[in-house]
Amino acid sequence: MEAADSPAAKGAAASGTSARKSVLLRLNAPVYEAIARWARDDLRSVNAQIEFLLRRSLEQAGRAPTNPGPMPRRGRPPNPP
């Protein structure tokens, strides 16, 4: 559990976003490779793909949190005009 006075918690509180949690996930190799291929096809990281799939599954099951916030933006910021 993350302490309320940790740098990550302070940064999340200052920016108005909730703290992100880290988890260790063990997958067998064929499942990981399938997710990695899907992530490459969708131009996402494996981590972002897993979060996308978990959010979609929660919504479909009617178990999504009331305010999960948007998916974090990944990658390079858009080029300025």
**Cβ(35)–Cβ(27) under 8 Å?**
yes
Helix, strand, coil tally for the chain in percent (to 5): 45, 0, 55
**Cβ(46)–Cβ(32) under 8 Å?**
yes
Nearest residue to 49 (alpha-carbon basis) of 58, 59, 38, 57: 38
Can you give the pLDDT of all 81 residues of the chain as single tens digits? 445 555 554 544 444 556 788 999 999 999 999 999 999 999 999 999 999 999 999 999 999 988 877 777 766 666 777
Distances (CA, A) of 19 to 1, 24, 50: 11, 17, 18
Which pLDDT belongs to residue 39? 95
The answer to whether the predicted template modeling score (pTM) of the entire model surpasses 0.75 is no
